Structures are given as C-alpha cells and as structure tokens.
Amino acid sequence: MARSSRVREPLWVRLILRTVVVTYLVLLVAWPVALVVLNTFQDGFVHMAEALADPVVQNALRLTAVVAVSAVVINLLFGVTISLLLVRYEFPGKRALSAMIDVPLSVSPVVVGLALLLVYGSRTGWFGPALADAGIQMVFATPAMVMATAFVALPLVIREVVPVLEEVGDEQEQAARSLGAGGAQTFWRITLPSIKWAVVYGVVLSLARSLGEFGAVKVVSGNIVGRTQTATLVVEQKYQNFEQTTAYSVAFLLAFASVVCIVVVSILRPKEES
Amino acid sequence: MSIEVRNVDKRFGDFVALDDVSVSIPTGQLTALLGPSGGGKSTLLRIIAGLENADDGTIEIEGVEATHLPPQKRNVGFVFQHYAAFKHMNVAKNVAFGLEIRKRPKADVERRVDELLRLVHLQQFAHRLPAQLSGGQRQRMALARALAVEPTVLLLDEPFGALDAKVRKELRDWLRRLHDEVHVTTVFVTHDQEEALEVADEIVVINDGRIEQVGTPDQLYDEPANDFVMSFLGDVTRLNGVMIRPHDVDVNSTPVDGAVVGTVTRLLRVGFEVRVTVTAEDGHDVAVVLSRAEARGSGLAEGATVWLTPHRGALTVDARPAAGVSA
Amino acid sequence: MARRRRPSRAVGTLNGPSALGLGVALIWFSLLVLIPLAAVVSTAAAGGWDNFVTTLTNDQTQAAIRLTVVQSLLVTAVNVVMGTTIAWVLVRDRFWGRGALNVVIDIPFALPTIVAGLVLLALYGKQSPLGVDFANTETAVFLALAFVTLPFVVRTVQPVLEELELDVEEAAASLGASRLTTFRRVILPSLVPAIAAGAALSFARGISEYGSLVLLSGNLPFRTEVASVRVLTYIENGNPAAASAVATVMLVVALLVIVLLDVIQRRVSRRG
C-alpha cells in the first residue's frame, strides 16, 4: 500500500493520535486483562489446581460445556437453514424475519431470562405447567439454560453465513443441478463446501458467546450450587464469597477458551481470495 | 428436431421476457440465439435447461416432454457466462462431478475425465484449482464439465462474454472445431453478431421477447426479414427511405438520374476503408463506406457535391417509420 | 465485479424440503424468541396502565433508568470520538505494535461479561495499582459500559475507512483543501453512516448491559443500579408485572435502535 505523502498527516499529528489511542486501549483493556492473568498465576499454577479440584467448579465447567455445546448445535442447524432460506428463496414475510433475527443481539440478557421465565416457568408460565405435567422441567434446569444461551447467540451463525452465501451466488448450485445433482447432493457437495469457513467462524463465535453467557442463564437457572450453576455463575459466587483466587482461575479459563477459539479460527481462516 | 419450444411465455413481474415463442432447434447443429441484451435470449436458454420455469408453453428435448422436468433430469449440459466453476474442487474434480453424481465406476470416471481434459487442452492442469486458471481456461474446463455427462444438448449462455477480445476470438474458433469433432446439438446465446455469423450453422434472432427470424448466417445477412434483423447483423444507413449497407452505396461525382444529391461533410480514413458522411439536401446524413482506391478514384473531398445511388443488386429493406433504427 | 444476478425462480420457490425447513425454523424461532418476548409485553400490559405508571414512577426505578440512559449516552459519545480515532490510527498509521492493538479491540467481545467486570476491578477496584478505587461508583458503570462497547464503532468504521479511495482525498488536496478541510468535508461525511451505526449498537448494548456491572458497580440503589439490575430485583421479589414493565421499555429502545440501523443501512446501500 503505497501512500502518497501529500495526503498523509504530519508526523506530530500522527504521534498525538497514536499516543491517545494506545493510552486509551492500555488503560481500558490491556492493563486490566494483564493484571487478571498475573493475579491468576501469581503463585504459579497452585490456584488453578486448587480451583480445578473444587467439585463445585468441576460441576460448573461440565454443565457449561453441555449447555454451550447444545446451544451451538441448535444454532448451527437453525442458522444454516435460515441463512439458506433468506438468501436463496422467496417467501412472504422474509424482510420481517430477516430484521427479527437480529433482535436477540440488542435485548438485555436479563430480559431474555425474564421472557423465558414467563413462558416456561413451571408454575405460572404460559407453557410451563403443561410441560411440567408431562414431566419436563424447563426452568431451573438444563433445557431453559440451553434456550437462554441459544437465544443470546442466535444471530451469530446467520450473520457470518448470509453475506458469504450472497457473495458466492447461486450459479455453482445451478451448474450442479444441470449436471444431475439433486437438492441434497447440491447442498452437501457444493453449497456447504463454499460456506464452510463462514459456518466454522459462526460456530466459534457462538461457542465463545455461549461459554460466557451470564445474565440470561442466571435468571432461568435458579443458580443452584452444584446443580444449575455454570462457570460464569461460579465466578460471581466465588468472588462475592471472597474466594477471589478461585474466581480469577475460573475467569481465566473462560476467557482463555473464548480467546483461543477466536485466535485459532482467524489463523485457520484462509485469506480472502480474489 | 432436437429441441421443440412451443408457445412459451415468461414474465418477470411486469416485464415480458418471452412472448409466445415457438422455435425448433435442429439435431447436431450449432445454433446461436442472437439478440440485444434484455431481449429474452438467455431466458429462453435457461427455460430449455430447466433453470427457469416457463409461465406457459412446452419444451421437448429429443422427443421427450421436458416442460416440468427439474434441471437435473433433463440431461443437458449448461455452460455459464461466469463459468460457475466449483471453486473448492480442482479441475479434474470439476469435470468428474456429473459422472460421480451418476455413480459411474471410478475407473470409467478417470478415463473419461482424462479424455475430456485432453479434448479441451487442460490435461496438464488437472490438479489446479479454478482460481489458478485464466478466464479462457476456466471456460474450457466448464465446457469439459458439461460435456462429461454426454448431454443430449449443450447450452452455452454468453460463453465468451466475460473474456477479453483476443481470447474470445480464439475460443470461438476452437468451439467451432470442437463442435465439428463432437457433433452434440449445441445452442449458444450471444449478443455479438460477428460471433454468431462466424460460428453458428443456424441463427435465431430474438428481440423484445419475440423471434424475429430463423435462418443460416447467409440467409440472415442476405435476406433479412425486417429492418431490425438487417441493422442488427451489420451497419446500415438510410438512403431515400430504404435501409442499405453503407458499402452498397455508390458515390458519383456527376449527376445521375434518381440519385440523392448531397454534400460531403466528413471524410475519415480508417485503415483500408474510407468512411464518408454525405449530408443530403433534405438535411439527413447518409453514411457511405468506400475502399481507399474508390475514394481516391472519385477524387472526393469535404465540401464536394455528390450523387448517391444504391449499388446494382444491393440489398435494401423498407425502413419502418416507427422503429428507431440507427446505423 | 458488479455482475448481474438474474432472478432464478425455478430454484427460488419453496418446494417440499425447503418449506419443511422454513416451518421447523419458524416454530423454533417463535418458541425461543417471539412468544417469550410477546409474553414480556403481554405481562406488562396485563398489569394495566397503573402497573406501568407505578413501576416507572417508582423513585428507585427512575433513578436506575436515568443512570442507564445517561451513562449509555456518555459512553456512546466517547465511543464516537475514540472509536473513530482508533479506527483511523489502525487503518492509516503504521507503527510497531499496531497488529497487537487490533487484537486488543476484539478482547471485549471475546470475554464473558462477568470476567470483564472482574478484569476492570483489577485495575480500578480496591487493590488498584493506580491507587484509585472506582468500585461501587458511577464511574464504575461508565468504565464497564466503555469496556464492553469498545469494539462497536471501531469495527463498523474500520472497513469503510479501508475502502475509502485515496484519490478522492488527493483530488480534494489538488483543489486546494487543507487536511482538516478534507477530513471535515470529504472523509467525515462518508464515515457518518458507519459511525451512526456503531453508535446505535453501542447505545443499545449500554442500555441492556448486566454481566459486567455485577461485580464492579455493587448494584447500589439510587447510585449504581442500572435498568437490567432493576428487572432482576423485580423478578427476585416475585413481581413479574413490574419486571415486565421495565423490560418492555428496554425492548422498545432495542427495537428503535434496530429500526434506526435498518434505515441507516438502506440509506447507505441506496447511495451505492
């Protein structure tokens, strides 16, 4: 990228802007994050080992994995289906659906929790009592936690896949059809390979978001220690119980998992082809 | 007849793409669908392939009623303007696709792919990805891919439209020679009259959703059914109320009976020809093309008065007053 | 690049499998999103107008809503200035460590919100190496919101800035415009839609934030309690009608932001 010097800012302007930006980012993000990492490992891996030996923590990590993976699988199936429908098909109400898909991104997690509680609460919810009679416990149990997590991460796969589907166009699919491929064959052999990276990226973003969900899960889980407590809830509880080192360790694990997900994919993802 | 199109209508909203179109496309020939952009020729091709549904009318391919068959059941080969290469597969895999869908034995697939890559001169590129090929090579790969399944008919939608002029010309010659070897019934869409005249056995001229004329290149050029066909297939000018090709106008430097009198207003030499603009007494311009020798012989110069007559035996067509035909 | 896409009806009409897919997807979307959100609005409405007025005129609730709105606006204003500056530096400047800064921008998206609160406590809490203690103050609310909304403006402005053609600026310069004039008259107008979109997202996020505030702000009534916390308190006190009333207000704000974004995006795409 050769930049013409005539339209470049003078050095002093650039130095000032650079300093302002670096200072802001260091104070707001880099330094605090570094401190948490340092706090976690101030005595080596001792605190981490202690935290991992705690049965409450072990349970929470296991539950977090179950809830996050379930929500991601649901969002993957739903997201790819909706993306295909939105890009490749015409149907009434498409514009409205496409706008509604983004709603979960701007709804407060607490409101998400409240909304699910009002419908699936086992005593006063709209559907809750009927489901409870059928022996299905939604709220204060895993199903509602999966739903809450799926809700907040809902648009992430779609937002990755839709632009790629639009960019790829449907000519390759038409070519496959003209060569004798049916609908399913076209999807598995042509469509899916061409949106592969968008799907992977969407899944990883969803996973990172799902592992870290806090507010919505807090409302619908009941926060029952050892039963419906996920890793983020453990962080809150341990911190407030003055078990700060455990809180830091679990927080670090969560942050590490999320960051690793994103870094790995940005490395794996092939650079934009021309 | 290989493809029978009967009374096909197609609308996109208010826009009439095809209006009661019927045409027969002969077996084993190379047929061009020629016409201006938006005239409906691509839509007709896509309806034949099943990529688009006709609102009304029927399609028959080699005696088989195909109107309601999905594209994958029609056994047509389709080549897209922008190649539609499967980007995640290498060249060999692209060509093998249709055969694998048809579950042919592996050895057969390999043999056939090899044969086709040889035919389109891509055998040394079998393991490259489409992104590593030039436009012309990608289009040849697309052609091999379409031919691999031994289609009843081969359909090409502006196959050379995205290529630059030189590659276009090479591929055009090559398509003609390929067709002489393979003899599959082929239909291609083009808006380039030179391409159609040079390559096709038969040309179907389509404009405004209607078929204007069907015939061999010579028939179309020599006996155009109307002024649209005449003007679309080559330059035309207006002389005394008729359409005529500029090279069919004689320029006389002395008065001639029944001639159009005018003044030379512009004289332009382009390579071996001389383009003359003569402003007639009634004020409208007549374009004339002469060879350099003719121009020199008649001693033309700007400002000179000349008498214009149609060349003996020249083709003329009455100009439709409403049709805004331009030279 | 600008290739013509033809309408492809034969592929585009719903057939068996795609209609089934649409049906299943819509049922799930309704069960997960539409019906629950409708339940919030309907519960708020069922409480009647009185419930609405009582809840929203409650001093503590009003304080919470005021704090949320004021801090969100403040943070959005800071993001507009800082976010644009950061995007500018990332795109137009070249220096060692620029790549690392680019990664730092994404950290707030990647971190779980509860961890974000914990992270900020480390530098701005009781044990701050800076010697400050913002824990349980309004400043803490501001910091938490600034942290979680950091990427919005940066990430919407950055791509637009990257695609901005340099010859337009050169043209402006050749016509005698100073750098400042060029920025004000040529560059800024083309960034405005992106900045507005980023600001809307950041405001919406600010209004709805909960997780990062839990540990940092202490949730003190009248001082650091935000709208989300208020909703949670009503839920825990067994008053779903009041919770729904506050939640409905928050939903309306979210909806307005979505409509605003849609308008901005359509205006941009029309400009082409």
Contacts of C8 in chain A (CB under 8 A): 170, 174
- The answer to whether the CB atoms of C3 and B82 lie below 8 A apart is yes
Distance CA C246, CA A75 (A): 29
Contacts of B53 in chain C (CB under 8 A): 9-10
Residues A89/A162, Cβ–Cβ less than 8 Å: no
> Which of A200-204, C76-80, C96-100 comes out lowest in average pLDDT?
C96-100
Q: What is the pTM of this model?
A: 0.81
Q: How confident is the model at residue A255 (pLDDT cuts 50, 70, 90)?
A: confident
CA nearest neighbour of B305 among B258, B265, B246, B269? B265
Q: Quick one: closest CA in A to B94, which residue?
A: A176
For chain B, which chains pass the contact test of at least 3 CB pairs under 8 Å?
Answer: A, C
pLDDT computed for residue A6 by the predictor: 45
Residue that the structure tokens 């067509």 belong to = B317
> Is-contact B57 B4, C-beta < 8 A?
no
> How many Cβ pairs closer than 8 A exist between chain A and C?
259
CB contact (8 A) between residue A109 and residue C228: yes
Optimal mutation site among A88, A174, A179, interface B, most CBs of chain B within 10 A: A179
Q: How confident is the model at residue B321 (pLDDT cuts 50, 70, 90)?
A: low
Backbone φ and ψ for C101, nearest 5 degrees, come out as -60, -40
Q: What is the mean predicted confidence (pLDDT) over A188-205?
A: 90
> Which among B52, B71, B82 has the least Cβ separation from residue C9?
B52
Which of B51, B70, B82 faces C8 most closely, judged by CB atoms?
Answer: B51
Reference C101, options A21, A93, B269, A75; nearest CA is A21
- Looking at chain B, which residue has its C-alpha nearest residue C10? B52
Residue intervals of chain B classified under CATH 3.40.50.300 are 3-228
User: Of A202-206, B323-327, C101-105, C218-222, where does mean pLDDT reach its minimum?
Assistant: B323-327
Q: Which residue has the higher pLDDT, A10 or A97?
A: A97
Among C22-26, C95-99, C223-227, where is mean pLDDT lowest?
C95-99
Nearest CA in chain A to B144: A179
Q: Is the pLDDT of residue B256 over 90?
A: no
CATH top class, domain B239-323: mainly beta
Chains in contact with C, counting 3 or more C-beta pairs less than 8 Å apart as contact: A, B
pLDDT at residue B324 is higher than 50: no
> Contact, B308 vs B260, CB < 8 A?
yes
Residue scoring higher pLDDT (A146 or B165): A146
CB atoms near residue A272 (< 10 Å)? 5
Residues A64-121 pLDDT 10s: 999 999 999 999 999 999 999 999 888 888 888 888 888 888 889 999 999 999 999 8
Q: Residue B282 has which token pair? A: 């009634």
Query: What would the mean pLDDT of C243-247 be, rounded to a whole number?
Result: 92
Q: What is the number of residues in chain B?
A: 327
Nearest-CA distance from A191 to chain B in Å? 10
Residues 118-157 of C with CB under 8 A from A: 118-120, 122-124, 129, 143, 146-147, 150
Q: How far is A177 from chain B (nearest CA, A)?
A: 5
pLDDT score recorded for residue A61: 93
Higher-pLDDT residue of C14, C237 = C237
For C23, other C-beta atoms within 10 Å of its C-beta total 11
Q: What is the mean pLDDT of residues C42-53?
A: 85
The encoded tokens of residue B294 equal: 């003719």
Query: Which tens digits make up the pLDDT trace of A39-65?
Result: 888 877 888 888 888 888 999 999 999
**Contact between chains at A117 and C21 (C-beta distance less than 8 A):** no
Which of A171, A179, A193 has its CB closest to that of B98?
A: A179
Averaged over B89-103, what is the pLDDT? 91
CA distances from C86 to A186, B300, C97 (A): 44, 71, 13
Residue C188: the pLDDT is 84
Residue A25 pLDDT exceeds 90: yes
Residue spans per domain, chain A: 55-273
Q: pLDDT at position A269, please?
A: 65
At the topology level, CATH places domain B3-228 in Rossmann fold (3.40.50)
Q: In the block, which residue shows the tokens 């590490």?
A: A256
Which DSSP symbol is given to B229? H
CATH 2.40.50.140 positions along chain B are 239-323
pLDDT recorded at residue B71? 87
Please give the residue of chain B at the shortest CA–CA distance from C9: B52
Which residues on adjacent β-strands are paired with residue B12? B15
Average pLDDT over residues B72-77: 88
- Alpha-carbon distance B289 to B280, whole Å? 16
User: For residues B206-225, b (16+ Cβ closer than 10 Å) or e, as one string?
Assistant: bbebbbbbbbebeebbeebb
CATH ID of A55-273, from 3.30.413.10, 3.40.50.1100, 1.10.287.610, 1.10.3720.10: 1.10.3720.10
**Res C10: pLDDT:** 40
φ/ψ region of A226 (left if φ > 0, alpha if ψ in -120 to 50, else beta) reads: left
CB-CB under 8 Å, C173 with A36: no
Place of tokens 């969100």: C72
Residue B154, SS3?
A: strand
Q: Answer yes or no: is pLDDT of B323 > 80.
A: no
Q: Is the CATH code 3.40.50.920 the one for domain C18-271?
A: no
* pLDDT tops 80 at residue B4: yes
Give me B213's structure tokens: 């004329």
Question: CB distance C8–B50 less than 8 Å?
Answer: no
A255 contacts C115? CB cut-off 8 A = yes
- pLDDT score of C203: 92
* Contact call for C10 and B52, based on CB within 8 A: yes
Name the neighbours of A, counting chains with at least 3 Cβ pairs within 8 A.
Answer: B, C
Least confident of A252-266, B1-15, B62-76, B93-107: A252-266
**pLDDT value at residue C11:** 47
Measured CA distances, B188 to A101, B2, B76, B179, B195 (Å): 43, 14, 13, 12, 10
Tell me how far apart the alpha carbons of residues A93 and A99 are, in angstroms, rounded to a whole number: 10
Is pLDDT above 50 for C268?
Answer: yes
Per DSSP bridges, beta strands B56-61 and B64-65 are antiparallel
From chain A, pick out residues whose CB is under 8 angstroms from the CB of B76: 178
pLDDT range class, residue B182, cuts 50, 70, 90: confident
User: Cβ distance C145 to C206 under 8 Å?
Assistant: yes
Q: How many CB atoms lie within 10 A of CB A83?
A: 25
